[in-house]
Amino acid sequence: MKESEQRLDNVTDQKQKIRVRYRGINPDEPEVIPALPEACHETR
């Protein structure tokens, strides 16, 4: 029983760390990586 309780605590700690890490992210404002202009993609 002690091992399962310890695993549960570890999982709970991991989940809490993830929640803290992603707390400030707004999914409506994704980070945009600029692309090259279309003129640079000319084919021959």
Which of helix, strand or coil describes residue 29?
coil
For the whole prediction, is pTM greater than 0.85? no
pLDDT at residue 28 greater than cutoff 80:
no
Which of 3-7, 14-18, 25-29 is predicted with the least confidence, judged by mean pLDDT? 25-29
Q: Which two tokens stand for residue 31?
A: 């980070």
The pLDDT confidence band at residue 14, using thresholds 50, 70 and 90, is: very high
Res. 34: pLDDT tops 60? yes
pLDDT band at 35 (very low <50, low <70, confident <90, very high): confident
Whole-angstrom Cα distance, residue 44 to residue 31?
A: 33
Q: What is the pLDDT of residue 39?
A: 65
Instruction: Dig out the tokens for 40 from the structure.
Output: 């640079």
What is the spatial distance between Cα 41 and Cα 10, in angstroms, rounded to a whole number?
Answer: 49
- The encoded tokens of residue 38 equal 């279309």
